[in-house]
Structure 1
Amino acid sequence: MAFSAFRNANQDVIRFLFVIGISSFVLVIGLLLSQPEAKCAIVVLLMSCFWMLEILPLAVTALLPLIFFPVLEVAEADKVAVQYFKDINVLVFGGLAFAVSIEHWNVHKRVALATLKAFGSNKAMVLLSFMLIGWCLSMWISNTATTSMLIPIATAVANEFDPTTSSNRKRRKQQQQQQQEKAISGCENVIDSFESGIKETNLDQKEELDTFANDPAENESQINKTELETFVSFKRGLLLSVAYACSIGGTATITGTAPNALLLGNIEERYGKATAFNFGTYMIYSLPQSLICLLIAWTVIYFLQVHTFKKSKLDNQENESFREVIAQQYQELGCWKPAEMIVISLFVALALLWFFRSPKFIIGWADVLGLTGISDSSVVITIVLVLFACPSFSDEPKADKTLLTWPVIHQKLSWSMLFLLGGGFAMAFGVKSSGLDLVIMEGLKYFSNIPIFFLLFIIVTVVGFLTEFTSNTSTASIIQPIMASLAEALGVHPFLFMIPTTIACSFAFCFPVATPPNAIAFSEGTLRVRDMVKCGFMLNILCFSVATVWAFTWGELMFSMTSQQSP
C-alpha cells in the first residue's frame, strides 16, 4: 500500500511538472512570436493537447484562454471573460436546471416505465422500447443521467431472462414435463392409429419422447447452455441499445448535448442572429435524421448481437416475467404526485415555447407579439423561475417545499459543462480576433479539387472516430471554427460542414471511454470491448453516411446548404 501511494504521488508530481513546464514553454514561445495568429495557434494546440490527453479536468483546461490570450495580447481579458457566460451558456444552464427537476421528482423514471408497459415483451420490442425512451429523454436531459437511470432498469429486465435463476429453472422443468406428457400422449395416439388400421404416424413426437426418456440430464445441460448463451447475448444487446440511443438522442436538439450548444453559439458569433438557425429549425433538421440513426442502431444491435441464436423455448414465460418486473417497478412509484404532474406539464410547455418561438416555416409566437429580442434562454429561465417559486404540494416531511431548490441545483447540476462551453467560445473568439481563421482558410483551399460530398464524408468520418478517444465537446470546440473557415475557403454554405461534423462528434460507439453512456453501460460488467467494437464500428460508418447524405438532401430544403454560400 505504501509503495502504491508513493507511485501515485510520483505520478501526480510528474503531471504537475509537465503542466507547469509545457505551459511555461508555450508562454515563452508566444511572447517571442510577433504575429497574433501564431500566438493564438500555439494556445489552441496547447488546449487541444490538454483536452485530448485529459491532463487536467476538461473544464479547467477550458479556462486557459483567460490566462494566455491577454498575456500574449491575442485578446483583452474582459472580452475573453464575456465568452464564458453568453446567451447560449444561459440556455444550457436553464436546460440543465430543468433536467435536474425532472430527475429530482423521478418523472423520467415514471415516463420510462410507462412506455415499457405500453410496448410488447418480445425481445425486439424490448430493445426498441428502451431505445425510444433513452432517445426521447436524452433530447432534454443529460445523456449521462438518462443512461444512469435506464441501465439499472434494463439490467433488472434482462435478468428475468436468466436461465440460471431458480424461478426460470422451475419454469423450465415444468415446461419439460409438459413436453414429455405431450410426447407420451402423441405416442399413445400413434399406437391407437396402428390398432385402428391408420398408417400415419408422428415420428417427431416419438423422437422427442426418446430424447427425454433416454438422457434427460444431457438434454437439460444442452438447454441450459443454449438458454444461457441467448440470455447473455440479449443482455449485452440491451445494454448497448441504451448507451447508443442516449448518444443518438442528444443530437436531436440544441440542448441535447454540448457540441450542439457550441454550434449555435459559434454560428451566432460568426454570422449573427439573423440566420435561420435556432432551436426550432435545428430540431426540424436533426430530429428525423436522429430517428433514422436510432432505427439503424436498433437493427444493427438486434441482428449482430441479439438475434444470433435460436428462439428461446421459454419466450412466453420470460415475456410474462418481463411484464411482471415492469409492472412491479411502476407500482412502487405509486400514483402521480402533484409535483410530477406540474413538472411534466412545464416540460411540455417549455418544448412548445422553444419550438414555436420563431420556427421560420410559420410565424412564431415571438413574431406575433413583436418580441424580436427574446431568445430561447429567456424562455427556459422563465420556466426555471416558475420551478423555484411553485410549491411541490408534497405531504412527505422530507420533501422540498418548492419544485426546485438551490441546494438541489448546487448538488446535481453539471457546472463543469458551462465552463467547458465557455472555453470553446473563448477559443473560437481568439481564432477569429487574431486572424487565425483567415490563415486556416487559405491553407484549406487546397481541398477545392476534392468533390464536396466525398470531402464532407471523409471529414465527418475522421471527426467521428477522433471522438472515440477524446471528449466530444472539446473536439467540437476545435473543429467548428475550422469547418467554418473551410466552407468559406471552398465557397460553400458553412452549415454544410459545421452541422454534420458537430453531429458526428456524438457518434462514438466503439469503445467504453468514448462517451459517458458507453462507460456506464460497460461498467455493469456484462459487456466486452469486442461487443462494442462489433456493433459500434458498423454503426459509426452507417451514421456517418446518414449525416453526410442528410446534409445534401434535407439540409438543402431547410437551410439551402448546397445552393447558397452564406447563411
Structure 2
Amino acid sequence: MPGDVPDAARLTAATAVLMGAWWMTEALPIPATALLPLVIFPVFNSEVKINDIGASYGNNIIFLFMGGFLLALAMQRWNLHRRIALLTLKVMGAKPSMMVAAFMVATGFLSMWVSNTATAVMMIPIGVSVLMLIAQASGTTEIKIEDGASPDDQAVKDAVIKSDFGTALMLGIAYAASIGSLGTLIGTPPNTLLAGYMADTHDVHIGFGQWMLVGVPLSVIVLFVCWFLLTKVLFKPEIKEIPGGKKLIANEYAKLGAMSSGELRVLIIFIAAALAWIFVPIIWSKSPPITDAGIAVAVGLLLFALPAGGTANKGVRLIDWETATKLPWGVLLLFGGGLALSGQFTSSGLTQWIGDSVGALGALPILVIVLLVTAGVIFLTELTSNTATAATFLPVAGGIAMGMGYDPMLLAIPVALAATCAFMLPVATPPNAIAYGSGYVTIGQMVKGGLWLNLFSIVAITAVTMTLAMWIFAL
C-alpha cells in the first residue's frame, strides 16, 4: 500500500487479508477466526478500545438472527416444519415434475425461516422414501429394488443415480434450500451480515418486510427456473405418474396425527412473528415502537415462557434451555467478527482509500460492474464459506461503490445474494454437501445442474439489483 495510507487502514487491510485467508482455508475454526478483531485492533491501535470492538458482537442484527434460530428450533421440536412440508407435498399431486415442484416449494418456504442445513436434513430423507417406493413399484431404473430394502443399500443408491427423476428430486431439494433462504433477512447469514453492515457503517436500516420485497421475488424466479432446468431440460423424469406417490405422502402425513397444542402454539407465534416483521415497519413507518430484532427477542422469550399445553406436556415449555443450546453459536460469533471488521474499514479510512483507488472502474457501466461482482462472488463461494465470503467482501464492495460515486448498497446487495447462490460443488454450501453425502447424487450431476443455475443466478441477481432493489431502496 502507498506510504500515505494511514497506519490504522494498513492494520485493517492486513487483518482483513488474514481473516479472509483463515476463513477460506479454515486454518482455525471459522468462529475462532471471527474473534481476531477483539485482539488485533485494541492491541495494535491505541485509539481503538476493546469495548468499541466488543459492541459489534452484541449488534441488534445478531439478536434478530438469534430470535429466528429459536423460532426454528421450536418448529423442529414440535415437528411443525415436517407438517408444513408434508402438507405441501400432499396438495401438489403425484406427477413427477409436480412432485419435484412440491418438494422444492416446501423446502424453499421452510428455508426462509429455518436454516437451510436443517431444512435439507429434514427433506432429503422424505425424498429418499419417495424414490425407494418408485424403485420398488416401477421399472424405471436399471436395477430392481426388493421390498424392504434400506435407503443405505448401494443398490438403492445406484438405481436412484441412474434415474433422472431421482437426480432432479435430490438436486431440487438441495438447491431449493439455498434459493428459499434468499427471501428473508434471517434465511441466510449473508443477508443478515448485509443488514448489519449497512446499519453500522452507513446508518441505513433494512426492514424485514422491505428486504422480502427484493428477496422473495428473486427466490421465486430462481426457484422456478431451477425446477424448469431440472425437470424439463437436464433431468427429464422417465415416468409420467408416480405409482403410490400420493399414498406414501398421505401415510407419512397421517403418522403425524392431530396437531398437538404445542405445535399449534408455535404455529400461532410463527405467524404472528412473520406478520409483525412485515407490517410493523409499514404501519409505523417513521418511528416503529419495536425493531425487527426486538420482535425476534420477544418471540424467543414467548417460546421460553409459554407452556406447551396438553395433559401429556405438563410443565413443558415450548422451548427449553437444553433445546436452545443447539443454537449455532459459532454463526453468531462469525456475525460479530464480520461486523467488527467492516466497522474498522470505515473508521480507519480503508474504505475511503479503496474507493479512491478504484475510481478508474467508473468508466465501466454500473450494470457491467454489478454483473462482474456477482459472478466473482458466486464462483468464489463455490470453494469458500458463504458467510465468510460475505463478511470479507461486503465492506470492500461498499468502498468500491462509494469510490465510484454510487450508493454502497448497490454493490453490497449483489455480494450478499451471490454468496448464497453456489450450486456446483458439495463444498459450496451445506445443503449441497448433505445431498452429495447421502450417496444419491454424484459430483458430475451436481456440476451439470449447478453450472447452469449459477449462470442464471448471475443474470437474475444483476437484474433484480438494477431494477427492484434500486426502486425499493431508492439507490
Matched, 1:377 2:377: no
Equivalent residue in structure 2 for 1:351, among 274, 290, 301: 274
Note the 1:120-135 alignment, pairs <5 A.
120-135=93-108
Match of 1:531 in 2: 445
1:355-397 Cα shifts (integer Å, max 9, x gaps): 01113xxxx1x45xx8546211111211221111111114436
Equivalent residue in structure 2 for 1:83, among 41, 45, 56: 56
Note the 1:430-449 alignment, pairs <5 A.
430-449=344-363
Q: Is the 8 A contact 1:89 1:421 kept in 2?
A: yes
Q: 3-state DSSP class of the match of 2:427?
A: coil
Matched, 1:339 2:255: no
Equivalent residue in structure 1 for 2:124, among 125, 128, 151: 151
Match of 1:193 in 2: none
Matched, 1:494 2:408: yes
Match of 1:546 in 2: 460
Equivalent residue in structure 2 for 1:138, among 82, 107, 111: 111
Q: Is the 8 A contact 1:90 1:377 kept in 2?
A: yes
Distance 1:231 1:153 in 2: 19
Match of 1:507 in 2: 421
Q: 3-state DSSP class of the match of 2:250?
A: helix
Match of 1:38 in 2: 10
Note the 1:441-460 alignment, pairs <5 A.
441-460=355-374
- Could you tell me how far 1:34 is from its partner in structure 2? 7.2
Match of 2:153 in 1: none
Distance 1:458 1:272 in 2: 27
Match of 1:281 in 2: 210
Matched, 1:248 2:179: yes
1:500-526 Cα shifts (integer Å, max 9, x gaps): 221010000000010000001111102
Distance 2:247 2:41 in 1: 60
Note the 1:245-324 alignment, pairs <5 A.
245-273=176-204, 277-307=206-236, 311-312=238-239, 315-316=240-241, 319-324=242-247
Note the 1:60-75 alignment, pairs <5 A.
60-73=32-45, 75=48
Structure 2 unaligned runs (5+)? 140-157
Matched, 1:236 2:167: yes
Matched, 1:405 2:320: yes
What is the one-letter code of the residue matched to 1:408? T
1:278-298 Cα shifts (integer Å, max 9, x gaps): 111111122111100100111
1:64-91 Cα shifts (integer Å, max 9, x gaps): 1111111111622110011001111111
Q: 3-state DSSP class of the match of 1:75?
A: coil
Q: Is the 8 A contact 1:234 1:305 kept in 2?
A: no
Match of 1:565 in 2: none
Match of 1:57 in 2: 29
Q: Is the 8 A contact 1:75 1:433 kept in 2?
A: no
- Could you tell me how far 1:477 is from its partner in structure 2? 0.7
Q: 3-state DSSP class of the match of 2:109?
A: helix
Equivalent residue in structure 1 for 2:20, among 30, 48, 65: 48
Q: 3-state DSSP class of the match of 2:426?
A: coil
Count of aligned positions? 454
1:195-223 Cα shifts (integer Å, max 9, x gaps): xxxxxxxxxxxxxxxxxxxxxxxxxxxxx
Q: Is the 8 A contact 1:236 1:305 kept in 2?
A: no
Structure 1 unaligned runs (5+)? 1-32, 170-226, 562-567
Distance 2:193 2:273 in 1: 21
Distance 1:68 1:401 in 2: 45
Q: 3-state DSSP class of the match of 2:420?
A: coil
Q: Is the 8 A contact 1:230 1:306 kept in 2?
A: no
Distance 2:315 2:459 in 1: 48
Match of 2:69 in 1: 96
Distance 1:107 1:374 in 2: 27
Match of 2:154 in 1: none
Percent identity of equivalent pairs = 34
Cα distance change on mapping 1:230 and 1:462 into 2, 3 Å: closer
The runs of at least 4 aligned residues of structure 1 exceeding 3 Å deviation read 227-231, 370-373, 394-397
Q: 3-state DSSP class of the match of 2:251?
A: helix
Normalised by the size of structure 2, how large is the TM-score? 0.92
Match of 2:84 in 1: 111
Match of 1:386 in 2: 302
Distance 2:196 2:161 in 1: 47
Distance 2:189 2:399 in 1: 21
- Could you tell me how far 1:537 is from its partner in structure 2? 0.6
- Could you tell me how far 1:229 is from its partner in structure 2? 7.7
What is the one-letter code of the residue matched to 1:330? Y
Q: Is the 8 A contact 2:24 2:385 kept in 1?
A: yes
Distance 1:482 1:536 in 2: 27
Distance 1:527 1:229 in 2: 8
Structure whose CA Rg is larger? 1
